[in-house]
Amino acid sequence: MFKGSLVALITPFKENQIDFDALTRLVEWHKQEGTHGIVACGTTGEFSSLTLQEQRQILSTCIDAAQGRFPIIAGINAFDVKNAVDLISQAQEVGAQGVMVVNPPYIKPTQEGLYEFFKAIHDQTHLPIIIYNNPGRTGTLITPQTLARLSKCTRFVAVKDSSGNLLAPLELKRLAEEDFTQLCGEDPMTVAFLAHGGQGCISVTANVAPRLCADLYLAWRENDLERVSFIRDCLAPLNKALFIEGNPVPIKYAASLLGLCHNEVRAPLLSASEHARIVVRTALEYAGLIPKEATTRKESHG
C-alpha cells in the first residue's frame, strides 16, 4: 500500500508560527519531483512542539494540497492507547490516508506490552497503520517476532525500520505476512535495506532531494544497478550530513538553502551551528542540489 520514496516532511515555521504557504508549496513540489507519499507531523516535522490544533491544520493543508495525488500519512506519537486513538481519529476526520504510530517513548515496555499497545490501537481505529520501530528515540526495540505477530492484523500494513539492524528485514521477511511492507528509516542504509527485502524508504533526505530519492527507488525496481550506485554515492555525504546535529536541525538549514522554508526550528532545538552549516552546504553542493556560487546568496533566506 505504501511503497517507494516517502518523505518525513519538515514543518516550515515563520516567526514561530506555521508557514502554511510554504507547506502548500512543499507538498506540490514533492508531487512534481516524484515523491510517492508524505508523512506529516512526525519527528522530522517537530511533532513534540505542535499543538493538537496545529497538527490538524498541517494535515488538512497537506491533504488539500495533495488533492488525492499521493497519500498523506499522519505521524502518531503517544504514551498510551487513548491518546494514540484520539490522534488517529483526528487524522481520519481530516482525510489522512494512513497513520504511522511509533512505539511509546521513555516507558520501555516488554515485547508483550508493545504487542498489546499496538493491537489495542489497531482494534479501535480504521486507517491503515505503519508501525514505526525507532529504538534510538523511544528506548525500546520492537523485535521481528513481535512485528510478525502484528503483521497478522489487517490494518498493520508496514513497518518503518530505524533500528539500524540490516539483519532485521531478512528475518522479518521470513516471519511476517507476505503483504507486510518494510520501509527503511535510515537514509544511509536505503540501498542495503532494499537488497534485504525492503520496498521503500521514509526519508529525511527526500526533503531536499526528492527527485534523486524517488529515482533511486525506481532504478532499484527496474534493476538499473548502475543508476542505483550513482545516486547512492551522490547522496552519501548528504545522508550523513543531515544527522550531524539532531534531526530536524540540519534538514531545516538545508531546506532554507534551497529556498523551501525559513531556517527556523522550535525550542528547545537551536538552529544549525556554523560547523554543521559548512558540512551541510558542502554535501548539497556535492549532490548537485545547489551550485557553489549560489551558496552565500541562498543562505540569506531565513
- Residue at 180 is within a domain: yes
d(CA 186, CA 234): 16
pLDDT in the model for residue 1? 85
Summarised one tens digit per residue, pLDDT across range 10-69 is 999 999 999 999 999 999 999 999 999 999 999 999 999 999 999 999 999 999 999 999
pLDDT in the model for residue 297? 42
d(CA 46, CA 36): 21
Cα 147 from chain centre: 19
The number of residues making up the chain comes to 302
8 Å CB contact between 137 and 105 = yes
Mean pLDDT to the nearest integer, 252-274: 98
Q: How many domains does the chain have?
A: 1
- Residue at 284 is within a domain: no
Instruction: Kindly list the distances between the CA atom of residue 98 and the CA atoms of 80, 140, 202, in Å, as whole numbers in the listed order.
Output: 19, 23, 14
pLDDT at 205 over 90: yes
- Residue at 263 is within a domain: no
Rg of the chain, C-alpha, whole Å: 18
Q: How many CB atoms lie within 10 A of CB 196?
A: 18
pLDDT in the model for residue 243? 97
**Strand 4-8 to 72-76 pairing:** unpaired
- Residue at 264 is within a domain: no
pLDDT at 294 over 50: no
How high is the mean pLDDT of the chain? Answer: 96
Query: Cis peptide leading into 268, omega within 30 of 0?
Result: yes
Task: Give the residue ranges of DSSP H helices in the chain.
Answer: 20-32, 52-66, 81-94, 111-124, 135-138, 144-151, 168-175, 190-195, 210-221, 225-241, 249-257, 274-286, 295-299
Q: Which residues contact 265 (CB under 8 A, 6 or more apart)?
A: 13, 46, 248, 249, 252, 271
Summarised one tens digit per residue, pLDDT across range 112-153 is 999 999 999 999 999 999 999 999 999 999 999 999 999 999
Summarised one tens digit per residue, pLDDT across range 73-85 is 999 999 999 999 9
Task: Tell me which residues are annotated as active site.
Answer: 132, 160
d(CA 302, CA 284): 17
- Of 202, 188, 194, 159, the C-alpha closest to 44 is 202
- Residue at 277 is within a domain: no
pLDDT in the model for residue 292? 85
pLDDT at 301 over 90: no
Mean pLDDT to the nearest integer, 175-194: 98
Mean pLDDT to the nearest integer, 201-230: 98
Work out the percent of the chain whose per-residue pLDDT is above 90. 96
- Of 238, 247, 140, the C-alpha closest to 190 is 238
Mean pLDDT to the nearest integer, 100-117: 96
8 Å CB contact between 128 and 97 = yes
Mean pLDDT to the nearest integer, 158-176: 97
pLDDT at 185 over 80: yes
pLDDT at 223 over 80: yes
- In terms of residue numbers, what domain contains 22? 4-223
Mean pLDDT to the nearest integer, 97-124: 97
- Residue at 299 is within a domain: no
- Residue at 296 is within a domain: no
Please state the pTM of the whole predicted model: 0.95
Nine cell digits for residue 199: 520496498
- Residue at 283 is within a domain: no
d(CA 146, CA 114): 8
Instruction: Kindly list the distances between the CA atom of residue 47 and the CA atoms of 146, 218, 260, in Å, as whole numbers in the listed order.
Output: 26, 30, 19
pLDDT in the model for residue 184? 98
- CATH number for the domain that contains residue 208: 3.20.20.70
Nine cell digits for residue 47: 511533532
pLDDT in the model for residue 293? 60
Q: Which residues contact 110 (CB under 8 A, 6 or more apart)?
A: none
